[in-house]
Amino acid sequence: MIAEVANAIAMADGNVERINVEEQNAKFSIVSLVLHVNGRRHLARVMRRVKNIRAVTHIGRVRH
């Protein structure tokens, strides 16, 4: 699953800076990513790619 997400991000020309996985149970985990993108449009393209992965149930943006 992590490889599939990382590949989708790479295919959209995004760079993964950090990955954190928190297992909830045997069938559900929360994956938090810190990405490097070039603006809002690029972020939207990366998010669309990740959303298209069947196992992804939610994707959101946290601003710092």
At 44 the pLDDT is 95
pTM higher than 0.75 for the full model? yes
Residue 22 has phi, psi (to 5 degrees) of -120, 110
- Give the residue extent of every domain in the chain: 2-51
35-57 pLDDT, tens per residue? 999 999 999 999 999 999 999 99
Residue 64 has pLDDT above 80, yes or no: no
Counting residues of the chain whose pLDDT is more than 70, the rounded percentage is 98
